[in-house]
Amino acid sequence: MQSKTLKETNKSGPAGQPAVAADAAPNSAPQGPIIPLTDNHQAGRRVDLSSGKYLKLWQGPQHPGITGNMSLELTVSGDEVVDLRTHVGYLHRGFEKLMERRTYIQNFPIVCRICVPEPDFNEYLYAATVEELAGIQVPERANWLRNLTLEMARLASFLQWIGGQTGAFGMGVIGQWGITHRDYVLDLFEELSGGRIYHMYIIPGGVRGELPEGFEGRARTVLDKVENLLGDIERAMFHNAVFKDRAKGLGVVPREMLDSYGITGPNARAAGVARDVRKDQPYLLYDQLDFDVVTASGSDTYDRAWVRFQEIHQSLSLIRQMLTRMPKSGPIHTQLPNPLHWKIPAGQTYRRAECTRGEYGYYLVSDGSGYPRRVYVRGPSYTHAVALMESMAVGANIADVAGLMVSFHTYPPEIER
Amino acid sequence: MNTSYQYSYTNIEELLDILIEKGLIAPAVDQQAPAAGDPAPAASEQASPATEQHGPAAEAAPPAGEARGPEQQHPTAIGRRQVQSSDLAFVTVAPEAARHLILDLRDRFGFTHLVLLTAVDYIEEEKFLLTYLLHNYEMHHDIGVQVPIGREADRDSAGDRPAEANPDTAASMESIHDLWAQAGTYQRELKEMFGIDFPGSPRVDEPFILEGWDEVPPMRREFDTKQYSETTYFPRPGRSTNDPADYMRQKLYPKE
């Protein structure tokens, strides 16, 4: 507790730090709204909005630099961010509550909406938890098809992320390329499942349909197109002086923050920690596929982008391997009981998968009735967009906030649920 | 084997035995009790070969005076242990023992990753079951620490603690925001969605998703989503409704 007056403190802020008023001394009554700062490292410090040194800005929910309908409440001093608070709840919310009032099969059209750009992880994990509690075995070919859709979803999601990451730094053209090629992947999904965004392809017991005639050839054409594009993106993005200048050294996540903030996925791998659920606790057929965990060491925005870029290459390779090695025929679905009378034995379980952003998990509790007692969705954005973002944005330039947020790759619906 | 932590173990059954040995979790409940109709073993028999823990430590007699019987196996029963699979187990502990156990699991056993913190509403028992799921990155094991707490609101809307609040039935739990930075967010959500209080947790009273909410916390089971939307939002007449269950019934059993 310091006893400097607000005026003094503002004049003599620590070097490189915005001037932040210490806890007001007992005799200096606040003149205007005093905002406690959110970041853990600044606990107990407050800013005085009436001092004229600070400005409150809302970035979002309608802002081109925001992924999805989220908003960041910024307190800025000049162009430097002093405080950031994440607000969610503008898009979808209440999924978990809805699921408690619906039968297990009725929940399938709901779960895929929890993450718009890659719904398949929700379908797979919900199906996997239900199957584990109900004791349902999935045919082998269905597992291959599930794995294929998960990797295709990863590819589509990363291609969309490229647009966000480059767009946030003013390179909109690369975003256009990425979105176009994402559409080619979505065309494949449309062929496969009938839906471009929400596929509802993975259902308990297996998958909903066979690969269409000639799918493999068309899929390989799309993969080649994407691979050509990646060469262009590497030159235009990663060798670009503007991108390097702005992304290098931005938002460095120290390694000791990884565990205390629950950071997973590319955000952790960019810090040099080889953690990947696909390798560590292989699900589906990842133990039979050939891939290495991509890591980097800088842990800044550039390295996180580089890890994701390498994982696009990895995803292309995995899809090709699966197309080659997949059994060409066989059952794709196990007969389920009548969905109207389908009761799942009481129990609880947790299953996880590695989505593009990190560990995605479903915690399912059944009480033996026809309705789930509780479904909890563990999305990686929950900690990346709230605790981590609120901490990392402090001290950043306001122009970098959008790029920093995209570099954590956050999707708000998995926070709201 | 994990080597960089004080205690090492090879599989999740051994971990539970060590936890009992160290007095971190209560010894097993009566192992004769599970019988027909008991929910937990029925689930794990079908789900995986792993069944209820019956390790050597389970031979130890349960403390005198503890009730026996299948109801002990309910998830909210303190001392319940469930090995769901080779890398996932759940243990139920008393609220006052939870923080100590979580801290030891983190610092001495290597469970450094807080995967999730959530609650399940067992309204028929007047209990919430808090679940702290911890992950060990060296062994790739998960353990769910489950804590039954009461359901009664601990503080009124003005933020004052009522004098008659009973610590046994109050929906209140010790905060772990100092152990993991993201725990504060989870606790803020639990405060809003379930009305569970975590005294001392940063910003715990700030709204997380809802604004100006003065109803029952919405994730509690007594909150009826359908009734709320029917009474709150303007009803639009002239809409026909199709109940999916009725529709399916007509499709499947047209004769009835």
Tokens of B79: 């001392």
Distance CA B135, CA B74 (A): 24
Mean pLDDT over residues A194-223, rounded? 92
Residues of chain A with pLDDT > 70, as a percent, come to: 88
Q: Which residues between 83 and 122 in chain A have a beta carbon less than 8 angstroms from any beta carbon of chain B?
A: 88-89, 93-94, 96-98, 100-101, 106
Indicate the DSSP class of residue A210. P
In the prediction, which pLDDT does B58 show?
38
pLDDT tens by residue, A342-370 = 899 999 999 999 999 999 999 999 988 88
Distance CA A358, CA A377 (A): 13
By C-alpha distance, which of A100, A98, A151 is closest to A124? A151
Residue A2: which pLDDT band, with cuts at 50, 70 and 90?
very low
Distance CA A259, CA A3 (A): 35
Write down the pTM of the prediction.
Answer: 0.83
Would you call A348 and B84 a contact, using CB atoms and an 8 Å cutoff?
A: yes
- Inter-chain CB pairs, A–B, below 8 Å: 130
Average pLDDT of chain B, as a whole number: 77
Tokens of A373: 């007692």
Distance CA B135, CA B110 (A): 8
Element (H, E) at A373: strand A372-378
By C-alpha distance, which of B18, B195, B203 is closest to A35? B203
In the prediction, which pLDDT does B28 show?
60
What is the least distance, in Å, from the CA of A287 to any CA of chain B?
Answer: 15
Distance CA A109, CA A106 (A): 7
In the prediction, which pLDDT does A22 show?
43
**Chain centroid to CA A368:** 32
Residue B41: which pLDDT band, with cuts at 50, 70 and 90?
very low
Q: Does B114 touch chain A (CB under 8 A)?
A: yes
Query: What radius of gyration, in Å, describes the C-alpha atoms of chain A?
Result: 23
Q: Which residue of B has its CA nearest to A281?
A: B140
What is the least distance, in Å, from the CA of B63 to any CA of chain A?
Answer: 26
In the prediction, which pLDDT does A37 show?
54
Q: Among partner residues B46, B137, B225, which is closest to A97 by beta-carbon distance? A: B225
Strands of A151-197, DSSP E: none
In the prediction, which pLDDT does B59 show?
37
Query: What radius of gyration, in Å, describes the C-alpha atoms of chain B?
Result: 22
Residues from chain A that touch B75, judged by Cβ atoms under 8 A, are 348, 365
In this predicted model, which residue has the larger pLDDT, A392 or B63? A392
Q: Among partner residues B48, B85, B218, which is closest to A97 by beta-carbon distance? A: B218
Tokens of A343: 């009761």
Would you call B209 and A416 a contact, using CB atoms and an 8 Å cutoff?
A: yes
Distance CA A188, CA A126 (A): 23
Mean pLDDT over residues B172-189, rounded? 90
Residues from chain A that touch B252, judged by Cβ atoms under 8 A, are 338, 340
Residue A11: which pLDDT band, with cuts at 50, 70 and 90?
very low
Would you call B115 and A359 a contact, using CB atoms and an 8 Å cutoff?
A: yes
Q: Does B169 touch chain A (CB under 8 A)?
A: no
What architecture does CATH give domain B12-252?
2-Layer Sandwich (3.30)
Q: Among partner residues B46, B75, B133, which is closest to A363 by beta-carbon distance? A: B133
Q: Among partner residues B39, B116, B182, which is closest to A346 by beta-carbon distance? A: B39
**Chain centroid to CA A142:** 26
Beta bridge partners of A85: A73
Q: Does B138 touch chain A (CB under 8 A)?
A: no
Element (H, E) at B16: helix B12-21
Mean pLDDT over residues A261-289, rounded? 91
Say how many C-beta atoms besides its own lie within 10 A of residue A238's C-beta: 14
Q: Among partner residues A359, A368, A388, which is closest to B39 by beta-carbon distance? A: A368
Mean pLDDT over residues A246-250, rounded? 90
pLDDT tens by residue, B212-249 = 888 888 899 888 888 888 888 776 677 777 788 888 88
User: How much is the ipTM here?
Assistant: 0.84
What is the least distance, in Å, from the CA of B114 to any CA of chain A?
Answer: 6
Q: What is the DSSP string of B134-187?
A: EEETTTTEEEEEEEEE--B-SS-TTSPPPTT--TTTBSB----TTT-TTHHHHH
pLDDT tens by residue, A140-186 = 999 999 999 999 999 999 999 998 899 888 888 998 999 999 999 99
Tokens of A354: 């590695």
Distance CA A167, CA A174 (A): 8
Q: Which residue of A has its CA nearest to B111?
A: A259
Distance CA A71, CA A90 (A): 9
Q: Does B245 touch chain A (CB under 8 A)?
A: yes
In the prediction, which pLDDT does B240 show?
74
Q: Among partner residues B40, B90, B115, which is closest to A378 by beta-carbon distance? A: B115
In the prediction, which pLDDT does B186 show?
92
In the prediction, which pLDDT does B75 show?
79
For chain A, percent helix, then strand, then coil, each to nearest 5? 45, 15, 40
pLDDT tens by residue, A370-416 = 899 999 999 998 888 888 888 888 888 888 888 898 898 888 888 88
In the prediction, which pLDDT does A19 show?
41
Residues from chain A that touch B209, judged by Cβ atoms under 8 A, are 88-89, 93, 416
Residues A349/B84, Cβ–Cβ less than 8 Å: yes
In the sheet where A55-59 sits, what is the strand order? A55-59, A71-77, A80-87
In the prediction, which pLDDT does A353 show?
93
Which of A54-63, A207-216, A231-240, B99-108 is predicted with the least confidence, judged by mean pLDDT? A54-63
Which of A201-205, A315-319, A390-394, B153-157 is predicted with the least confidence, judged by mean pLDDT? B153-157
A232: helix, coil or strand? helix
Query: Is the per-residue pLDDT at A310 higher than 60?
Result: yes
Query: Is the per-residue pLDDT at A7 higher than 60?
Result: no
Would you call A88 and B209 a contact, using CB atoms and an 8 Å cutoff?
A: yes
Q: CA separation (Å) from A240 to A174, A181, B52?
A: 12, 21, 58
Mean pLDDT over residues A294-306, rounded? 92
In the prediction, which pLDDT does B66 show?
42
Superfamily (CATH H level) for A95-379 = Cytochrome-c3 Hydrogenase, chain B (1.10.645.10)
Element (H, E) at A147: helix A140-167
Q: Is the peptide bond before A61 cis (omega within 30 degrees of 0)?
A: yes
Q: What is the DSSP string of B107-141?
A: HHS---EEEEEEEEEEGGGTEEEEEEEEEETTTTE
Q: Which residue of B has its CA nearest to A391?
A: B181
Strands B141-149, B88-92: pairing is: parallel
Q: Among partner residues B140, B182, B208, which is closest to A383 by beta-carbon distance? A: B182
Would you call A350 and B133 a contact, using CB atoms and an 8 Å cutoff?
A: yes
Q: Among partner residues B87, B118, B137, which is closest to A363 by beta-carbon distance? A: B118
Distance CA A18, CA A15 (A): 8
What contacts B15, CB < 8 A, 6 or more positions away? Answer: B9, B89, B109, B141, B143
Terminal alpha carbon distance of chain A: 39
Residue B146 φ/ψ, nearest 5 degrees: -110, 135
pLDDT tens by residue, A12-55 = 333 334 444 444 334 444 444 555 555 544 555 677 777 888 88
Q: Which residue of B has its CA nearest to A88?
A: B209
By C-alpha distance, which of A35, A367, A277 is closest to B113? A277
- B251 burial type by CB count under 10 A (0-12 exposed, 13-18 middle, 19+ buried): exposed
Distance CA A127, CA A112 (A): 11
Would you call A347 and B120 a contact, using CB atoms and an 8 Å cutoff?
A: no
Mean pLDDT over residues A283-297, rounded? 92
Mean pLDDT over residues B125-134, rounded? 92
By C-alpha distance, which of A353, A348, A365, A277 is closest to B48? A348
Task: Quote the Cα angle for A114-A115-A117, to 5°.
Answer: 150
Would you call A262 and B84 a contact, using CB atoms and an 8 Å cutoff?
A: no
In the prediction, which pLDDT does B3 show?
56
In the prediction, which pLDDT does A63 show?
73
